Amino acid sequence: MTTLLRRPLVVLLLALALVAAGCAEAEDGGDAAAGGGGGETASDAASAPAGDTVSEAPATEEGPIRIGAVLDITGPGANLGGPERDTLELLVEQLNAEGGIDGREVELDIRDNQSREDEAATQLTSLLQEDVDIILGASRTGPSLAMRPIAEQAEIPMISLSANLSIIEGSEWVFKTAQNDSVVVQRLLEWMEAQGHETLGLARDASAFGEGVADIFREVSGNPDIVLVEERFATDATDFTAQMINLRDAGADVNVIWGIPPAAATATQAYRQLGIETPLLHSHGIGNPAFLEVAGDAAEGIVFPIGRLLVADELDPADPQTEVIQEFVTAYEERYGARPSTFAGHAWDGFTLAVQAIDEVGTDPAAIRDYLETAELVGMSGVFRMTPEDHSGLGPDALVFATVRDGQFALADEQPGS
Amino acid sequence: MSAEPAVAERADAAAMAVEGPGAGRRRARRDLVGLAVLIAAVVVFPLVAEGQVVFVGVFAGMFALAALGLSLLMGLAGQISLGQAGFLAIGAYTSAVLTTRYEVNSLLAAVVAVAVAVAAAFAVGIPILRLRGHYLALATLGFGIIVAVVANQWEFLGGQSGIFGIGDVAFNGRTYDEPGEQFYLLWATVIVALVLARNLARGRVGRALGAVHDSEVAAETLGIDTFRLRLQVFVLSAALAGIAGTGYAHVVGVVNAQSASFQLSVELLLMAVVGGLGSVWGAILGAVFVEGLGEALTTFIPRVIPGASGEYQLIGFGLLLTLSVIFLPGGFVQAGRRLSGLGGRRSAGATVPGPGPASSGGAVAVREQGAAVEPLLPREGRPPPGTVVLRVTGLERHFGGVRAVDGVDLEVRTGEIVALIGPNGAGKTTLFNVVSGVLPPTAGTVEVGGRPVSSAARPPRPHTVAAAGAARTFQNLQIFTSMTVAGNVAVGRHLRSRGGIVAGALAFPARREERAIDAEARRLAGLLGLDDVVDTRAADLPFGRQRLVEVARALAAEPDRLLLDEPMAGLAAAERADLAHLLRRRRAGGMAILRGEHDMEAGMARADRGGVLDDGHRIALGPPSAIADDPAVIAAYLGTDDDTALPPPRTASGTTADGTTAGGATAAGATAAGPAPGGAPAGGTTAGGATAAGEADRRGDGGGRA
Amino acid sequence: MIDLLQLVVAGLSTGAAYGLVGVGFVAIHSVTGIINLAQGEFAMVAGFVAIALLGAGFPLAAAAVAAVVTVAVLAGVIERVAVAPAAGSSAVVYIMLTLGVSTTLKATALLVAGPQPRALPAFTPGVLDLGGVQVRPQDLWILVATVIAAAALYVFLERTTTGRAFRACAEQPVAARLVGISPSRMSTLSWVLAGIVGAVAGVVSSPVFQTDWNIGLFLGLKGFVAASMGGLASIPAAILGGLLLGVVERLVAGYISSGLQDAVAFFLLIILLVARPSGVFGRTGAVARV
């Protein structure tokens, strides 16, 4: 870690400032002049080792490979970023135990963006000062969108772990591993069609994750009137009475809550408490045990499209993903004593894509980018087939329908469209 | 129970008040050296530090700007703001919108951003700066949160995810995208702001702010429009936050509601507090320290506590804030001063025996006594002798059901000394407060120079009364405790000087005026025999000499009317004679003097006319000889009538508005203010209870407002 | 109509929690003149303590009581250690001081409990249907706890010697000192009382709001707005203010926009502070009464 190198510089910074203060406030001019002299000396002394650290720039094709990650480890996105961090740490450990990439050790620098867009940008800018070879993150759409222009300007490949299509749309340098929300919407519409539902009420996350979802429903369904009501809730909201009442009053055939836990879970509770009988659909944002913990009984019977990782135990052995998924689930459970969430899966996909690319083409950013644009991977979130036009690489087949049964995620009985 | 933190908090502002020319020059030299070191550090830093650390330095510079504004606001004006991040966000959003949506040049966008922050500060400041203390703090906190909510809700501003893709600062066809370049740009701005703020703090505006902080009521009666001044500093502080916001937008590249977060406001506050409130250097130090600490903690804590995640650096911030408020209320700057021995001056000052009341002051008196009464401070354009310059008609002031002043008529003419005599609690101080505009009358009018300045229909502002040419002193001293004697008197020159915020910040236009003010302040202090203590903190003087400082301060305003509330209380005999002589000279110079006295004999001895006040009524008016024989007066004083008890019921009214007794709720308080010299409650300079109505930050009721 | 009632019910239960936190502000402010910015953190800490004890196998009731006691002690210790040394300071100093305490408590909770929100289970599961209005039993628990806590405080202040001394200290500080009431003891007591009501609010609202390290800010600010409605001087007014605020927030969320509900409180606060610092329910110029 470079923190060891950083320490003396922080100290230098403080020392200089304090010397400046001492001078400014010393008793008289004579003392101040002496203090000033001292200040110069101090800076000279401290700058010598500091100078050494600067010259120590890593050469391109030797030394450790550096992967930077900016994740939503705390704040409203903590349920996503936490498992993602755990996954990355697990994977890098495994990788280095096996000798790294071409014998080069892989260093992982994980930063917490505190679920904040500005912090994500700050952390990314700061990471770029550390000569990382590729960027992973962020966990959610908003912070990912904040990072996108910075990665593009720095011309460094970035693999986001979040969902919204706008993160990769038209981007040369940004890829992502979570299923596109348009694909999720498409699957939800397939479900509605199979059940004979025509209208929906939408309560969505007010953050970038939920932004534009209503439009996607209208576009994909070709029905501009399909969304009867659109309610918003803050990512950290705690009371959903108002939104759920408005859903109830709209009287749509189904209702969709589009968010991430804990808000999506609390909203589900409020939905049940108001005694709304209409079927409840969710997005792929809830594939996390944290959702079950908070929502409790209220979650029973909901339906949502999700990657196969969440229902690993019920997979068809013939499914191409089954083997890698079960291998990962075993390793993760062994290490952390819990099942990996779908977000852990997104991190697995991102990390594996990055490692695969560097393994093939080295650390030249443009080469990595070019490789990723044609990469294929049997991953956690689906079977990726990237193209220069599609930096997501996942189709509707990446998603199955899941439900909650007896307090556990389970494969839904009906799987329309597949 | 000690008031130490409160006092120490201002110790720095105190040091910024004008001191002797020698001290000023030393200070200026120190600042120059400090500046040179800072510039050297700024130049060298990006050359020796690696990118990541330069980035921390960029943030430190950015936040230093906002903290500087906060430090001025809190340290000089004594106003706390928990919404500084709100202004930062306004600046950031403005820059972001202009550069991303309208492709405005980033420099122009910065100018507009500051303008918008300034406009917002006016809009917010005008209503909420009427609040004081914690009410103001919470109103500013509410403001910050409202900014965040608006930013979150307004789609134009990008909703919850905000505006991203803001480019780097670019002008003259060059883009400044390296951390090193950003560092230089920001810190150059910081240094300019630092110099301007430092000049401002050391000049007329800074002195006025210090005065407002120490005693708002006294500052007002010297003609300082305290509301306007506070508003100006509030706006200035917002402007600095706006600049910081522009930097934030360009450096971070994303602006969303988090930039207005309470957390950031707290961090800015911490920077200002840790560095040393009111010190421009402190804000810079605080910003560097807090940013560095945050960075150090984020690397350190996970090693100690594996698995820690989140904004755990907050624990350092929280502890730092708590501990520094308790142990280091003056921040780093004070600590530095203490280390370098300057801090000793404060405690030493307290023990410097003001030359005994009778010594040097007395000598001056004796020397001048023999001479003829030569006119002192005559002024062109004074009304001719005998003109009525102060007229009080049918004046009433009630507190609840108590009529403290009950229908008083009074005229004072140029060139005369009128003594207003009455037992304690007769309503003298209330009358003074109403006449000087500190309290609005319940009925009746006060005319100064023929113009009505105060009536029930038109509640006064003391500074307008002062501007009309009336200055006063206080029975319960309202010394500017953080300033030297010269500094106190210099505040009196406020109305006779004009350097505003801009001139003060640029220093050059204001420098000559500052020198003149200082010279005049020293001359006046000398006239009152205060030459030997002119550079001593006024609060360290003995009680009697503090009173003389107040007189000098009032004289410094060159008023046509001088209102002296118990000027002789606490003075030694020689000082009394000296002051009386001085007053006679001023009378000869064409001044009208109204003096409140509880001691009949002393009051009458030196007056041209006397008025006697009892129980809120004026019971006699006329030449001293006639007054002394007036049966009503004899009755009031000797108690041959029915009312022998000294404290009439009004003292039990529980209000401090009368300003006569601290805490005023008990009879004990009233009797303590008995006729003996120094009878006013000890420690009256700092006494909480001594504050006039509206100034006190009382709890529960409306006392938090002016 | 049902919708309106539903929103009002939701508003009353959140509002009661605001009110309880607000009572804490009143208790400290009326005696010491301090606005305790760490008031919301009392609720947060109590929530976490109760959750931890429940996790350690204690029954819910015991965990709740222990949490309240812990926080009461904590509040007293904070008063002694951090606040008392600064006695006599200006309002601004106390603002900074309690802000520091609040930040320290928050960060400690973050370090100990982590960033994830947790919640106590609802005291009574299920949902009550009252003529079409769905009421969570927890809403009732919050209301009942508020009423009991406020009533207990009221009885304490009106009927016990210590309580009377406390009131004397708030209403007539000089006189109280003259008759031998120690202001510093009363100051400690006021913090303990504030700790108790804050903790009760934190425990009963945990199943609804969830407890996370940053919840104190939200609860504290809303509680302050509630207390301000009574001019920071009256317990019943603080509770009424809390209820009013809670209901207005829900109505704004339901009929205007859910995103604006947080702004409502602070618009109210600023308007209130500027226009009527004695509070909506306060009497201008009246002697402060606890």
What tens digit of pLDDT does each residue of C251-276 get? 998 888 777 777 888 888 888 877 76
Same domain, A43 and A169: no
Domain with A206 in it: 181-306+400-411
- Residue B112 is part of a domain; what is its CATH number? 1.10.3470
pLDDT of B174 > 80? The answer is: no
Mean pLDDT score of chain C: 86
Preferred mutation among C134, C135, C140, C211 to probe A, highest tally of A CBs within 10 A: C134
- Residue A154: pLDDT over 70: yes
* Residue numbers in A near B179 (CB within 8 A): 125, 129
The answer to whether residue B396 scores a pLDDT higher than 60 is yes
For residue C246, the model assigns a pLDDT of 93
E strand spans, B233-341 = 254-255
* Higher per-residue pLDDT: C193 or B652: C193
Same domain, A130 and A8: no
Same domain, B428 and B487: yes
Chain C residues with CB inside 8 Å of A275's CB? 127, 129, 134
pTM: 0.81
Q: Which of B31, B38, B255 sits opposite A118 (nearest CB)?
A: B255
Ordered by start, the domain boundaries in chain C are 2-275
How distant, in Å, are the alpha carbons of A9, A265, A292, A305, B353 from that of A406? Answer: 56, 16, 10, 18, 85
Q: Write down how long chain A is.
A: 418
| pLDDT mean over B536-550 | 83
Count: domains in chain A: 3
Contact predicate B572/B363, CB 8 Å: no
The pLDDT tens digits for A229-253 are 999 888 878 888 889 999 998 999 9
Q: Are B275 and B285 in contact, with CB atoms under 8 Å apart? A: yes
Q: Which chains touch C (3 or more CB pairs under 8 A)?
A: A, B
Once rounded to an integer, what is the mean pLDDT over residues B339-362? 42
Answer for the pair A368, A135: CB distance below 8 angstroms, yes or no. no
Using the Cβ of A79 and the Cβ atoms of chain C, whether some distance falls under 8 Å is answered with: yes
The mean pLDDT of chain A is 83
- More confident: C86 or C61: C61
Preferred mutation among C8, C116, C128, C213 to probe A, highest tally of A CBs within 10 A: C116
Nearest C-alpha neighbor of A349 from the set A372, A377, A329 = A377
CATH code that applies to domain C2-275 = 1.10.3470
**Which residues of chain B have a CB within 8 Å of the CB of A36?**
33, 36-37
Q: Are B273 and B404 found together in one domain? A: no
The single-letter DSSP state of residue C82 is I
Interface contact flag, A39 B37, Cβ < 8 Å: yes
Token pair, residue B512, equals 């000559």
**Burial readout B536-575 (b: 16 or more C-beta within 10 A, e: otherwise):** bbbbbbbbbbbbbbbbbbbbbbbbbbbbbbbbbbbbbebb
B696/chain C closest Cα distance in angstroms:
11
- Give me the pLDDT at residue A303, please: 95
User: Which of C14, C129, C208 is nearest residue A275 as measured by Cβ atoms?
Assistant: C129
Give B307: exposed, middle or buried? Use CB within 10 Å, 0-12, 13-18, 19+. exposed
Model pLDDT, residue C257: 79
Contacts for C160 with CB less than 8 Å, ≥ 6 apart? none
Closest by alpha carbon to A367, among A133, A92, A150? Answer: A133
Same domain, A81 and A164: yes
Same-domain status, B42 and B105:
yes
Examine residue A312 and state whether it is found in any structural domain, yes or no. no
Residue C114: list chain B partners with CB under 8 A: 307, 309-310
The shortest CB-CB distance from B700 to any of C82, C99, C231 is to C231
Give the whole-angstrom CA distance, residue B674 versus residue B362: 25
- Identity of the highest mean pLDDT range in A330-339, B32-41, B447-456: A330-339
Q: What is the band of B365 on the pLDDT scale with cuts at 50, 70, 90?
A: very low
Taking contacts as CB-CB distances below 8 angstroms, the residues of chain B near A32 are 29-30, 33-34
Query: Residues near A298 by Cβ (< 8 Å), separated by ≥ 6?
Result: A265, A268, A269, A271, A272, A273
The pLDDT of residue B691 is: 35
- Chain A within 8 Å of C245 (Cβ-Cβ)? no
Do residues A258 and A405 share a domain? Answer: yes
- Would B319 be classed as within a structural domain? no
Which residues of chain A have a CB within 8 Å of the CB of C4? none
Interface test with B, best of C273, C276, C289, C290 (most B CBs within 10 A): C273
Share of chain B above pLDDT 90, in %: 10
C182 interfacial to chain A (CB closer than 8 Å): no
Both tokens of B417, joined, read 């000394």
Domain assignment present for B492: yes
Contact between B52 and A130 using a beta-carbon 8 Å cutoff:
yes
Cβ contact B161:A141 at 8 Å: yes
User: What mean pLDDT comes out for the span B658-682?
Assistant: 36
Residue A196 shares a structural domain with residue A287? yes
Q: Do C257 and B320 touch (CB under 8 A)?
A: no
**Does residue A243 share a domain with residue A127?**
no
The question of ipTM being above 0.95 is answered as: no
Verify that B286 and B428 share a domain, yes or no. no
For residue B470, give the 3-state DSSP assignment. Answer: strand
- Its domain, for residue B141, covers 4-292+327-337
Specify the range with the lowest mean pLDDT, choosing from B98-102, B531-535, C281-285: C281-285
Answer yes or no: are the C-beta atoms of A294 and A261 closer than 8 Å.
yes
Scanning C56-136, the segments in alpha helix (DSSP H) are 60-78, 91-113
A263 and A406 share a domain? yes
pLDDT tens digits, one per residue of B408-435: 888 888 888 888 887 777 787 888 888 8
Confidence class for position B524, pLDDT limits 50, 70, 90 = confident
pLDDT band at B705 (very low <50, low <70, confident <90, very high): very low
Are residues A407 and A278 part of one domain?
yes
Please choose, from the candidates B370, B453, B437, B412, the residue with its C-alpha nearest in 3D space to the C-alpha of residue B590. Answer: B412
Q: Are A85 and A164 found together in one domain?
A: yes
- Token pair of B225, please? 């429009």
In this prediction, residue A379 has a pLDDT band, given cuts at 50, 70 and 90, of very high
- At A43-80, the pLDDT tens digits run 333 333 433 333 333 445 678 999 999 999 877 788 88
Asked whether residue C69 carries a pLDDT value surpassing 70, the answer given is: yes
Residue B308 within any structural domain of the chain:
no
DSSP 8-state secondary structure symbol assigned to residue A180 = P
Does residue B491 lie within any of the structural domains? yes
A154 inside domain: yes
Residue B98: the pLDDT is: 93
Percent of chain B with pLDDT over 70: 77
Q: Read off the pLDDT of each residue in A10-23 and give the average, rounded to a whole number.
A: 50
In this structure, are B431 and B578 located in the same domain? Answer: yes
pLDDT in the model for residue B670: 35
Domain identity same for B190 and B55? yes
Residues B331 and B420 in one domain: no
> In angstroms, what separates the C-alpha of C232 from chain B's closest C-alpha?
6
As a three-state string, the secondary structure of B483-522 is CEHHHHHHHHCHHHCCCCHHHHHHCHHHHHHHHHHHHHHH
Write out the two tokens for B362. 């007395």
Of A14, A19, A148, the CB nearest to B37: A19
In angstroms, the Cα distances linking A169 to A115, A164, B646, B654, C23 are 22, 9, 87, 72, 52
Q: Between these two residues, B122 and A19, which has the higher pLDDT value?
A: B122
Strands A408-411 and A383-385: unpaired
Banded model confidence at residue B371, pLDDT cuts 50, 70, 90: very low
β-bridge mates for residue B399, sequence order: B402
B143 touches chain C (CB under 8 A): yes
Q: Is the pLDDT of residue A194 over 90?
A: yes
C115 touches chain A (CB under 8 A): yes
pLDDT interval class at A90 (50, 70, 90): very high
> Do β-strands A134-137 and A158-160 pair in parallel, antiparallel, or remain unpaired?
parallel
pLDDT at C281: 60
Our separate counts of H helices and E strands in chain C read: 11, 2
CB A306 within 8 A of CB A279: no
Angle (deg, nearest 10), helices B508-527 and B485-492 = 110
The dihedrals phi and psi of B60, each to the nearest 5 degrees, come to -60, -45
Distance from CA of A142 to the nearest CA of B (A): 5
End-to-end Cα separation, chain C, in angstroms:
37
Do B174 and B241 lie in one domain? The reply is yes
Residue C110 has pLDDT above 80, yes or no: yes
CATH of the domain at A70: 3.40.50.2300
Name the more confident of A123 and C290: A123
In eight-state DSSP terms, residue C118 is B
| Cα–Cα dist C197/C27, whole Å | 9
